[in-house]
A and B are shown apart, each in its own frame.
Chain A
Amino acid sequence: MANRNEHFVADLAASEVAEIDAVRISEKPTNLYLDAWRDLRKRPMFYIAGVLILAVTVMALFPGLFTQTLPNDNCLLANSNAGPTDGHPLGFTRQGCDIYSRIVHGSSTSLSVGLIVTAMTMAMGVFFGALAGFYGRWVDALLSRAGDIFFAIPYILAAVVIMSVFSDYRNVWVISAAIGIFAWPSTARVLRGEILRVKQADYVMASTAIGVSRFKILMRHVLPNSIAPVIAVTTISLAAAIVAEATLSFLGVGLPTSTMSWGNDISQAQVDLRTAPQVLIWPSLALSITALAFIMMGEAIRDALDPKARAQR
């Protein structure tokens, strides 16, 4: 009873007030990329995609680790379209070559086309997108209209025309250029949109106020803060480039048949679809799994880099 008179208001514990007032600051240093990295490590999709990509990369760099059979040696026509035998787990092609070995040795073609196209679209897309988004006005008008023109031609159709023009010079570089030249506008569009948003930020105005040059603002502040969606789009477009190469090879305007590639193998197997479907199925499967790995990786990265998408999950 005596205690009651001592307190006229509800007891406020000192610790509670401190808790309410305290601004929650995480112990760990953090930024967008660290957050994304922490998020990625919790997702099974990232690991599955990562392991697949690693496997294909090692396969492309060191095919000898996966098979001792050389793809074009010991091709016996007696084995034409034959099923699996000892030492040849997937059977033989129409020419009697080992399918498994051809898949292993063909991986470097698909991967290098994917990487070259991605490097090209990234370079062109970032360059044009950044200029258009950051400098605006006539630069934007000019570059965006130019991008519209390239965007309006479906890039596989464009690549078909280019490859028909350069029919005497078909190699990995030419086919990558043919795909890349028409694939950059989508990257540029993504970056331009993001830069338009970032440009409004207070830190950009602050930098302008203290007299940082426009170019330095773009390189130091705007670009690093707007590149995240481009990374995700680019990873997915790597898969698209691999599929595009196979489609062009399938149409017969891709790489010459002497170059080993999954697209060529699929294209050559189509005549025997009825009698020996496995010759077509295996390289197709390799192609799909590789593309799937890059798409999954791209989606995982996109979700991880987008705080809104992280919160929605």
Chain B
Amino acid sequence: MVGYIFKRVLQALPVFFGTTLLIYFMVFAMPGDPIVAMFGDRGVNQAVYEQLRAQYHLDQPFLVQYFYYITGIFQGDFGTSFSGQPVGDVLAATFPVTIRLALMAVTIEMLVGIGIGLFAGLRKGKLFDNSSLVMSLLLISTPVFVIAFVFQFVFAIKLGWAKPTVSGAAGFTELLLPAVVLSTLAVAYIVRLTRSSVIETSGQDFVRTAYGKGLTRQRVVRVHILRNSLIPVVTYLSIDFGVLLVGATVTEGIFNVPGVGRTLYQAIIRGEGPTVVSFVTVMVLIYLAVNLITDLLYAVLDPRIRYGK
């Protein structure tokens, strides 16, 4: 167990350094001199220019700059946003909202996706199965911002069931519509994944044995089929977290949810390159952390991983 955790964390390190190096390189390659930009229209004062360059380590070679940047990240310094606020502070203010939204979306994904997928898988080839497959194809091929606009228009503006935009408080009921939108993409995949997984599990010997023992259908489905079909779904949820983050950027932007995604969205819209990069870095780090934690959870849940290879 300890060995596995150690190995997995060790594996995550090169990816961590690789991704940050890659993103940092892209910023490094960004055209334009940020120090000159700081002077604005006033013209460059050479002495101040040199001092600022030294202060931000811009006179150092690329790898040294990267080293300063990475030590900054370890000390919780993610850089400064365009308006002069430390990115760390902005994160502290906005992150809880995004977490709430993401958790709501994942809950909806799991409930709806697994429910429909299980139902469709148990009735393979029937009307419900076929129609749920068609629906999932439609959802997969529609970009999340289109879904967001359509839902906003239909449910908030036409029907008036929810408010079209979210207030600063971002309460539970307000977040419901954005969470549903955010969940739509993954729901389609979870339905299909659960369905094929249920079909495959239903054909296994242990399911026949369970029926042979005289267990009720309800118990076989709940304990034997469903539980064994959930493994790929959980894997998918952790891999899909990146898509969720991108979706959150778009959804939070459209519904004005005061989270990390909206901050990134507004920075992108306004063309604030450095802010965009710091937030993308943070999101990638969150994504890596989530994947690492899921893998470690597997070790807890699955004895084969704990002891074997």
Given contacts A160-B276, A274-B157, could you give 18 more A-B pairs where the C-beta distance is less than 8 Å? A148-B15, A149-B22, A154-B242, A157-B245, A157-B249, A161-B26, A164-B268, A164-B271, A165-B31, A167-B273, A168-B31, A247-B246, A252-B268, A280-B149, A284-B142, A287-B146, A288-B146, A295-B140
Assuming A153-B19, A252-B268, A266-B145, is B273 touching A164 (CB within 8 A)? Answer: yes
| Cα separation A288 to B149 with both chains bound (whole Å) | 14
Mask: chain B, 254-270; 1 = CB below 8 Å from A; 0 = not: 10000000000100110
Q: Is the beta-carbon distance between A165 and B273 smaller than 8 angstroms? A: yes
Residues of A within 8 A of B280 (CB): 153, 157-158, 160-161
Q: Is the beta-carbon distance between B18 and A273 smaller than 8 angstroms? A: no
Q: Is the beta-carbon distance between A153 and B284 smaller than 8 angstroms? A: yes
List, sorted by A's number, 30 A–B pairs whose CB atoms are closer than 8 Å: A145-B18, A146-B18, A149-B19, A152-B15, A152-B18, A152-B284, A152-B288, A152-B291, A153-B19, A154-B242, A156-B246, A157-B246, A161-B277, A164-B30, A164-B271, A165-B30, A250-B145, A251-B265, A251-B269, A252-B268, A252-B271, A253-B271, A270-B149, A273-B157, A280-B149, A281-B150, A284-B146, A284-B149, A288-B138, A288-B143
Residues of B within 8 A of A165 (CB): 26-27, 29-31, 273
- By secondary structure, the A interface counts as helix
- Judged by a CB distance under 8 angstroms, whether B137 is at the interface is yes
Residues of A within 8 A of B273 (CB): 164-165, 167
Residues of A within 8 A of B153 (CB): 273-274, 277
| Cα separation A281 to B145 with both chains bound (whole Å) | 12
Residues of B within 8 A of A149 (CB): 14-15, 18-19, 22
A268 CB, min distance to chain B CBs, angstroms:
13
Residues of A within 8 A of B142 (CB): 284, 287-288, 291
| Cα separation A148 to B19 with both chains bound (whole Å) | 9
* B interface residues (Cβ-Cβ under 8 A, vs A): 14-15, 18-19, 22-23, 26-27, 29-31, 137-138, 140-146, 149-150, 152-153, 157, 199, 242-243, 245-246, 249-250, 253-254, 265, 268-269, 271, 273, 276-277, 280, 283-284, 287-288, 291
| Cα separation A40 to B301 with both chains bound (whole Å) | 41
For B283, give its contact among A154, A239, A288, A291 (CB under 8 Å).
A154
CB closest chain-B residue, reference A283: B146
Closest 3 CB pairs of A and B: A149-B18, A154-B242, A292-B141
Q: Is the beta-carbon distance between A253 and B268 smaller than 8 angstroms? A: yes
Assuming A247-B145, A284-B142, is B14 touching A167 (CB within 8 A)? Answer: no
CB closest chain-B residue, reference A250: B145
| Cα separation A239 to B137 with both chains bound (whole Å) | 12
| Cα separation A56 to B109 with both chains bound (whole Å) | 33
- Judged by a CB distance under 8 angstroms, whether A103 is at the interface is no
CB closest chain-A residue, reference B253: A251
- Judged by a CB distance under 8 angstroms, whether A115 is at the interface is no
Q: Is the beta-carbon distance between B277 and A164 smaller than 8 angstroms? A: yes
CB closest chain-A residue, reference B192: A299
Residues of B within 8 A of A152 (CB): 15, 18-19, 284, 287-288, 291
